[in-house]
Structure 1
Amino acid sequence: MSESLVTVAAFYRFATLRDPGGLRAPLRAFCAARGIRGSILLAPEGVNGTVAGAPEAIDALIERLRTLPGCADLRPRLSPAPAMPFGKLKIRLKREIVTMGRPDIAPANGTGAYVAPSDWNAVLHDPDTVVVDTRNAYEVAIGSFAGAEDPGTASFGDFPAWWAANRARLAGKRVAMFCTGGIRCEKSTALLRAEGHAEVVHLKGGILGYLETVPEGESLWRGACFVFDDRVSVGHRLAPGDHLLCHACRRPLSRADAARPEYEPGVQCHLCVGEYGPTDRERFRERMRQIRLARARGARHLGA
């Protein structure tokens, strides 16, 4: 595959899939035949994935996914890549396509109302609206919207407990939520609606949609947005940021963080130095050695 002809597609769609297991083998064969790599999750609540391949292969896959029940209007986020960013193809069966620990919550049955990026600033300025960042604490730490509430969750699975603890405080208020690309907000607003909270909205297209369309001079975003790919973080117009990733704990690091004495590339950072023992660190060092050897021979190590 030519390095100039790689398209990355990120997509999700909440829909009722009655037999996700039966879709797995045909979808794997379809992707493998076209050289598509990446990860696709299938669950009773829908499909979620990030894959890469030749433009015509990705186009064919999106058309194939749109034939799934409830997925006719699936809209991927497409971006070019200088090289294939994935080492292999993984298609997995899950209970949820985004893990909140509540497979009983079905976004396909109703979520909060969408707010377009162009209207989001008005939501942020509304004194009668509580704006909640549904992302993990390590994501919020490097950037968020001015005035947004941080639930301080370590993972999305902690969100239902946060809501249970704050439900009475937020009763009668309009709750506005946002996340990176929209998928977590679909699930979180569906949770609030299922539990009887009437006024709940969320940012359409997530932070990425906002940063892509709202002029920087009008933006209320502060800092960088963590992304789950090699860029690590992005800013306005989705320009790559200058954050690094700790490949031990998968948290984002600033350049100043990488200059701290605790930092060892691929092994530890100041945030996780106490989280792993000597055996883990030796394993991480061996992984980094294999990555460097792969790079020296012009190959991509699957752990990179």
Structure 2
Amino acid sequence: MKRIGVLTSGGDAPGMNAAIRAVVRKAIYHGLEVYGIKYGYQGLIDGNIEKMELGSVGDIIQRGGTKLYSARCEEFKTEEGQMKGIEQLKKHGIEGLIAIGGDGTFMGAKKITEKGYPCIGVPGTIDNDIPGTDFTIGFDTALNTIIDAIDKIRDTATSHERTYVIEVMGRDAGDLALWSGLADGAESILIPESTDQMQEVVDRLKRGHERGKKHSIIIVAEGVGSGVDVAQQLEDETELETRVTVLGHTQRGGSPSAADRVLASRLGAHAVDLLLNGHAGRMVGIQQNLLVDHDIIDILNTEHQVDLDMYRLSKELSI
């Protein structure tokens, strides 16, 4: 293998640039040429591809977002779109591809591998919803962004003696809500992996109010529903003044944390090693601080699991 490509796809995540840097420099170290594909699979179809040098990834390890940009591409879900991408790989002499992103990105990687082009997936998403790895690139940074916001909101919640509902991202996974809620001592956490929670939250708020508690923080994962709707229901049932904060896309931005920079560097370099050693259709990950890799098909067919022991602990500590 003499020439590889790298792209980022789907939602951006802090640390993607660190992963791109690791892929480019690890590959060049081993004598490979590296081509960056801009705008994900859409850029692959369009031929938006350029050669990358050592200097191409200088001073990006500390930057959020992705130097290669990102986009979602419905066309690549079709056979015709995939063949257009394959033709561009052939045109540029690219023999292997590293795709950084989430499960949608990995589905594209799987299709490319099935058509004879070895591809390695690198998990980059703030949601931490990819099986086969303890952490995904961007999760730690997003988590710290949320914690910083909750700290500030708690100050005003204390001053005004109100209940605050904070809606966080995570798609259908509750990891961001659970980890941020536990880290910041939230009174209640609503996650999609646990059902019939609302009455429990209502009862906890009422008990707290009866013993003189003046304010509360409720974390709601977006997979549960709208934070606005949750707040309205809580206010109706408890008659406690309630406010809502939807953190939104602030969670995706910002300079990546040290943990995300190191994780991205390790995973990006490991992906290059796998290509050099003849592997294809794999996803790299980290488990118990050890680098691992799994068949992408297995990852796509496995359901993400939240740590329910941690969820039970959060309840025990918020009595």
> TM-score when scaled to structure 1?
0.31
Structure 1 or 2: more helix by fraction: 2
- Under a length normalisation based on structure 2, what TM-score does the superposition of the two structures give? 0.30
Q: Compare relative contact order (CA 8 Å, sep 6+) and give the higher one, 1 or 2.
A: 2
- The structure with the largest alpha-carbon Rg is 2
